[in-house]
Structure 1
Amino acid sequence: MFSPYYAWARGRNGGAAAALEHCAINVALYSSARGEGRWAMTERGRASVHCEATALSIGPSRMRWDGDALVVDIDEVTVPMPSRLRGRVRLHPQSLADRSFALDAAGLHRWRPIAPRARVEVEFDKPAVHWKGTGYMDTNAGARPLGADFAHWSWSRGARSQGRCAVLYDVTRRDGSTAALALDFDANGEATAFDAPPPAALSRSGWGVDRITRCDAGTLPVLRRGFENAPFYARSLLDTTLLGERMTCMHESLSLERFDTAWCRAMLPFRMPRALR
C-alpha cells in the first residue's frame, strides 16, 4: 500500500492497477548499536508471487503456517547499501483473534489483530544474530487507497503483565473526523475496549512527522528511540502508562498527506527498489 510504483500505475490507469503486480516483503532488522540495522523491501511483479491456502511466496522469501506457528523464511538484499539479509522468524501465537475493526464509517478499511501477543524466535545467518522474545501480528485491508480516506494515523502496542497487551489506534480522516480505538487484550486474545486516555504529544520526527500517543491522565510518555524516520512515516519505541501500568510500546505515525505528494513518492525507490523480473 506504500508502493510508489503502484500509485504511479493507478495514476496512469484511471485509478485501477493490479495489486499482485506490486508485492514486497519488508524486513527491518534493528541493532542496539545505532547505524547497524538492516532494511530490505524489494517490490516484485505477479510472476514472482505465489499464493497458497497456508503459504505466500514473494521472490525468494516465503511465509507459511507450520502447525500452530507462522514461519517466515527471509532471503533479501538490503538497501541502500547492498548486503544479504537471510534468516528465519518463527511466530507462535499465544492466541488468535478473529475480530476485525473498522477504521472508517463505511467499513472500507479494516484492521485485525491476528495474534495480539506471541512468542517469537529469530535466527539469522546473514547477519549472524538470534534471539527470542514476545511479538505481535496484525493485518490491514482496504477497498480504497489509504490516502483517499485518511490524512494521518498513529498506532501503538505494548505488552502488559499476565499475558495481556494494550493497543491504541488513532485516525484522522480526510473529512476532518477522528476515531480512536483503545483495546485491552487478555491472554486468550479477547479484546475489551476501554476509554481512550488523553492524547499526549511526542517530539516530531526528523522529517517533521507528528508523533502523538495517549497515556493515563497525570503521566507523560517518554520517547526512548526512533527506529524509522521517513518523509511520511516514523516508527519509535516509547515508555508510557496505560490502565495504570507502565509499559514499553512500539509506536507508529503515518502521514498520508505526505505520502500523496509527488516529491515524497519520488524518494521512495531509494528504500523500495523494484526487481526487474
Structure 2
Amino acid sequence: MSDSGGRAISIIGFIGSVFSPWYAWSGRRRPQNHVCINVATYGPGGRFTMTDRGQAALRQSRETLTVGPSSMRWQGGRLIIEINELAAPPLPGRVRGTVTVTPSALTGVEATLTPDGTHIWRPFAPTSAIRVDLESPGWQWDGHGYFDANFGTRALEQDFSYWTWGRFPLAGGSTCFYDATRLDGSALSLGVHFDADGRAEEIALPPKTRFRRSNWAVKRETRADAGTTPRQVQSMLDAPFYSRAAVRTVINGEETTGVHEALDLRRFRSPLLKPVLACRVPRRSGWTFGPEIRPGQG
C-alpha cells in the first residue's frame, strides 16, 4: 500500500495456481504445469493479470522463481520482482516494471492451519517497505507491505468452507489474524503480533466483528476492539467468491488500515464458476526462454 494512500499492489507467485479453472479441470495432478505470477494494481489505471502457464515457463533455484516473462529473486536481503505481464479484460494492457520488497526482519514462524498439516502459512516478512516502479504514469511510489506464503497438499475447498485473513500495521510492527471454518465444522482462530525485529507473539484475540459485505455479497469479518466496526476504505479485488480490500479498524486502541481478505469456498466449489474465471485467467501452455547471457558475453 502506498504511503500517500489510494494505490496498492498485490503480487502472488503460484506453483499450482489454486484459483485457476485450468488447474481444477486438469485434476490438479501436476502443479508445476499450472504456474503463474499474478499481479494486481489498485487505484487509477489499475490492472489485473493472472496467466496460467505450463511447465515450460517454470524455472526455479534457491533464490529465484521465474514464470515466463516475470520473476522473483532474493538478493541482498530484498525480494526483487520483475514484472512483464498482459492484463485481463475489462482493462487490458501491459503491466511492466520492478517492485522491491525490503523486510525489516525475517521470521521463522510456521503456522499449521489444519490438524493434519495439509495447509501451512509462513509469514516470512510481515513488516516490509516496498518500492514500486512500473511503466505507467503515477505508478512510481514507496509504501509498506508484507511477504508471506501458503503451502498445501490438498485443494482449499477440500478442507475449508470459509476463511478470512488480515494484516494490519501497528506501532513497532504488524499484527495478522487468521480465522477459518473447516469443512468438519471446527474453527481456526489465530492472532500473531510481529515486532520490527521479526519476533512473534501469539496474542489474545479481539472480538470477531462483521462489517459490510462485498459487492458480490461475500461475508466479511475481522478482529477489532469492542465497540468498533471495521470499514472498507479501498476496494481491491471483488469476485463472486473472494474479496480483498483495504480495511480500517482499531486494535488495542490504535487505528490502523491494513489488507483484509475473505474467501467463500462454498461458492468457489461451484462448477458454474469455472468458465467465468477462465475469462480472466487465460491459459498459455507453451513458452520458450531466450538464450541466457552470461558475464563476458554479448
TM-score, normalized by length of structure 2?
0.87
1:4 equivalent in structure 2: 21
CA apart distance, 1:127: 5.2
From 93, 101, 113, give the equivalent of 2:123.
Answer: 113
**Is 1:138 aligned to residue 148 of structure 2?**
yes
Q: Deviations over 1:205-263 (max 9, x none)?
A: 11121111110112221221221110110011111011221111110001111111111
CA apart distance, 1:126: 3.9
Q: Is the 8 A contact 2:160 2:182 kept in 1?
A: yes
Q: Provide the rounded CA distance (Å) in 2 between the counterparts of 1:51 and 1:223.
A: 37
Q: Give SS of 2:283's match.
A: coil
CA apart distance, 1:37: 1.1
Q: Is the 8 A contact 1:232 1:264 kept in 2?
A: no
- The runs of at least 4 aligned residues of structure 1 exceeding 6 Å deviation read none
Query: Matched residues, percent identical?
Result: 40
- Taking only aligned residues, the RMSD between alpha carbons, in angstroms, comes to 1.2
Q: Give SS of 1:218's match.
A: coil
Amino acid at match of 1:7: A
Amino acid at match of 1:51: Q
From 178, 181, 201, give the equivalent of 2:210.
Answer: 201
Which ranges in structure 1 are unaligned for 5 or more consecutive residues?
Answer: 11-15
Which ranges in structure 2 are unaligned for 5 or more consecutive residues?
Answer: 1-17, 287-298
Amino acid at match of 2:233: R
From 32, 35, 39, give the equivalent of 1:20.
Answer: 32
**Is 1:29 aligned to residue 27 of structure 2?**
no
1:165 equivalent in structure 2: 174
Amino acid at match of 1:227: M
Q: Is the 8 A contact 1:86 1:127 kept in 2?
A: no
Q: Give SS of 2:272's match.
A: helix
1:269 equivalent in structure 2: 278
1:260 equivalent in structure 2: 269
Aligned runs of 1:90-101 on 2, under 5 Å? Answer: 90-101=100-111
**Is 1:53 aligned to residue 62 of structure 2?**
yes
Amino acid at match of 2:120: R
Q: Deviations over 1:77-108 (max 9, x none)?
A: 00114311101001111100111101111121
**Number of positions where the alignment pairs a residue of Structure 1 with one of Structure 2:** 268
Q: Provide the rounded CA distance (Å) in 2 between the counterparts of 1:66 and 1:187.
A: 20
1:226 equivalent in structure 2: 235
CA apart distance, 1:202: 1.2
Q: Provide the rounded CA distance (Å) in 1 between the counterparts of 2:217 and 2:227.
A: 26
2:79 equivalent in structure 1: 70
